[in-house]
Amino acid sequence: MDLNKLFASKAKVDILKYLLFKRQGVSMRALETDLTWTFPAIKKQVDSLNQADILITDKTQQKWSIELSPYSSPWIRQIFLAALAHEIRMTLGEY
């Protein structure tokens, strides 16, 4: 399962993986530091995911806090785990 095709962007997939498996409540600058993407690329994808109601962005004057929406988080988690299970089966030659 190619998540890059599903979400139409490798940056989006990397951001979602980070929020699912590392930590939530992170700023865009922290994402820029931890991921290999530039700030404009991250901002574009975060804005897109925010418009799709997949992310919640808490904006204050001091910082932005980015989290997965509690409504979409279980679905996104299931998609990523299904993709991981698919990759494992492909690696083991079960397909």
pLDDT the model gives residue 83: 92
Rg (CA), the chain: 14
pLDDT the model gives residue 3: 85
Place of tokens 């806090």: 65
Reply yes or no on domain 3-92 having CATH 1.10.10.10. yes
3-state secondary structure of 53: coil
Strand partners, 57: 66
pLDDT the model gives residue 94: 73
Nearest Cα residue to 41 out of 54, 32, 51: 32
Where are the chain's structural domains? 3-92
State the distance between the two ends of the chain, measured CA to CA, in whole angstroms.
Answer: 12
In the chain (95 residues long), the average pLDDT of successive 10-residue segments reads: 85 93 88 91 92 88 84 93 92 81
